[in-house]
Amino acid sequence: MTQQHHDERSRIREAIDRLLAGQPARSNGSLTVAALAIEADVHRMALMNRHADLKEEFYAQVRAETHQTPEVEQRLHKEVVRLKEALAGSRAAEAESRRRAEQIALAAAVLILQNPAGKDQSFLGNVVPIRPDAR
């Protein structure tokens, strides 16, 4: 572990303590990774990639000490709920489409059975057969 890496980790741990104590020095004090990165003077992507364990530790402490779910998890939960509702709607629409297709297929079968040889075609109106009957 390089000295810079060690210094970043120390700053992140100190920033976690300040944010959880409600005494931010550099950030707006929100309990987010972005605020933690600002508070620790570390690039957010460095926090997300090189120090992911500290990020997870931060979220665990937020849950344990404040008895609240981090904002990111709340947003993700809302998105999951929205997507589940959309999926349920999509599945219902698919089921309705299948039901209608079955009804149309049954109606077509009934019409075919009622007119097996294509004899009385008066119900076709202005429909012209592609291949005229060879008589």
User: Percentage of residues in the chain with pLDDT exceeding 90?
Assistant: 36
pLDDT bucket at 119, cuts 50 / 70 / 90: low
The pLDDT of residue 114 is above 90: no
Model-level pTM? 0.51
Rounded to whole angstroms, what are the CA distances from 77 to 69, 70, 86, 91, 127? 10, 11, 14, 21, 56
Q: Which of 33-42, 44-53, 64-73 has the lowest mean pLDDT?
A: 64-73
Q: What is the CA radius of gyration of the chain?
A: 33
The pLDDT of residue 44 is above 80: yes
Per the CB < 8 A criterion, the answer to whether 16 and 24 are in contact is no
Domain residue spans in the chain? 3-68, 72-117
Alpha-helical segments (H) within the chain? 3-21, 33-40, 44-49, 52-66, 71-114
pLDDT of residue 15: 92
pLDDT bucket at 92, cuts 50 / 70 / 90: very high
- Cα 1 from Cα 47, distance rounded (Å): 15
119, HSE (Cβ side, Cα atoms, 13 Å): 5
